[in-house]
Amino acid sequence: MAPRVTIPKAEAYKLFLFFTAVQAFALTTVFTINLVYQVKQVGLNPLQLVLVGTTLELTAFLMEIPTGAVADVYSRRLSVILGFFLLGCGFIVEGSLPFFEALLLSQVIMGAGYTFLSGATSAWIVDEIGQAQAGAAFLRATQVAQVASFSAIFVSVALASVSLQLTIVVGGLLLLLLSAVLIVVMPEAGFRGRPAAERESWKSLFVTFQAGASLIRRRQILLLIMLATLIHGAFSEGFDRLWTAHLLGNFSLPQLGQMDEIVWFGIISAVSMPLTLAATEVLRRRLDMTDGRRVAVTLIGVYAALIFSVLLFILAERFALVLLGLWLTQAARAIRNPLMEAWINQHTESDVRATVLSIQGQADALGQIAGGPVVGTIGLLSSVRVAISLSALLLLPIIPVFRLTLKAKRSRHSAPD
């Protein structure tokens, strides 16, 4: 058996930031124009736009448990490398074949890729550098991702001026290259996989899943986190798939000289980046990410701001207010992600951490599967504006859920040993 490679925590931290940056650069290269491609070139209607997303989420729902358990039983490293590889393949299929059916196939491939990454990346870095440092690492990674994404916007717009399809294919190739690099340089010093005797069947995978599910059942706070994730998923699918259609269908984008309207989507992305970067820097400096109560209170504030900003985006008639609502929405959602990751990691043990995070991913997928088609059908039968308004209202129950998590945490701390 080959000796296990060990590297200093600082080196693992740097590698985490590196692949986070490359992932963000590749995804932003694609996502800056992805929905424009689906609306303009492929010609999808509101229901088809949501069904593309629902296919992705249904795949994620079915794949989250086995892929999360693979990360806990076999290797976080293997899971991450497979995730980037499949994600890259999915983008290449989408960009190469501009047909609705091909888009559905690409979502199946990408859904599998996302689930190999879900939970595994954060579980890997927690194991390598320790729980105490992980919260700050998640926030810093969010900032690094924002910087990389900002740079990618200009690349995306430049490529899109040549071809929308080319832009998506390039993003996929970057992820394939990243997976190849990680095969060579990515260590796994903090994780010990199950002994070979326990890998002979899928039984060990289901045992790990059962351990994660059992932990969630025993801890009310984890159950509430899963409920909050379900609600967030129901909101996000409709908004993510239809906001571009709202801008293209309900507004005449102001002329920018001789430049194509695609430049507006680059501007939208470019302005949201520094807003998110500034907000996460304030959190990094002022919020103790190891204080679960303060993290929960902050999440309540973030969701209140998110509901307001989505309603501003969809109800405003002036283009400037629409942009403001969109930018605030994007910033609030970016802030929410590291807060949720840090919070749930505080309540899970290492041997089931990736599985619990994957169950959270499955809850998010289930919410999107349930909410997306309903919102898309409303968008087809009524209007995109009505559909996105419904998505915002779906978020309202999440605030009392977070308030319940505060009570659950107090009850747990006050209970006798």
Query: 242-292 pLDDT, tens per residue?
Result: 988 898 888 888 877 656 678 888 888 888 878 877 887 787 787 777 777
Q: What is the mean pLDDT of the chain?
A: 82
The pLDDT score that the predictor gives to residue 148 is 92
Q: Over the stretch 307-326, which tens digit does the pLDDT of each residue have? A: 999 999 999 989 999 999 99
The pLDDT score that the predictor gives to residue 313 is 93
Report CA-CA distances (Å) from 120 to 23, 217, 311, 351. Answer: 14, 22, 34, 12
Residue pair 360/61 in contact (Cβ under 8 Å)? The answer is no
The pLDDT score that the predictor gives to residue 344 is 74
Confidence of residue 367 (pLDDT cuts 50, 70, 90): confident
Kindly report which listed range (66-70, 179-183, 251-255) carries the lowest average pLDDT score: 66-70
CA separation for the pair 236, 331 (Å, rounded): 14
Neighbours of 229 (CB within 10 A): 23
DSSP letter at 351? G
The pLDDT score that the predictor gives to residue 214 is 72
- Please list, in sequence order, all residues whose beta carbon lies within 8 angstroms of the beta carbon of residue 139, skipping any fewer than 6 positions away: 280, 283, 284, 289, 338, 342
pTM: 0.72
Per-residue pLDDT at 201 exceeds 50: no
The pLDDT score that the predictor gives to residue 70 is 72
Confidence of residue 11 (pLDDT cuts 50, 70, 90): confident
Residue pair 73/205 in contact (Cβ under 8 Å)? The answer is yes
| Identity of the highest mean pLDDT range in 27-36, 213-222, 339-348 | 27-36
Question: What does the block give as tokens for 153?
Answer: 């916007």
The pLDDT score that the predictor gives to residue 194 is 56
Neighbours of 389 (CB within 10 A): 19
More confident residue, 59 or 222: 59
| 201-218 mean pLDDT | 63
Confidence of residue 18 (pLDDT cuts 50, 70, 90): very high
The pLDDT score that the predictor gives to residue 251 is 83
DSSP states of 152-214: HHHHHHHHHHH-HHHHHHHHHHHHHHHHHHHHHH----S--PPPGGGGSSTHHHHHHHHHHHH
Per-residue pLDDT at 241 exceeds 80: yes
Confidence of residue 417 (pLDDT cuts 50, 70, 90): very low
Residue pair 344/353 in contact (Cβ under 8 Å)? The answer is no
More confident residue, 401 or 388: 388
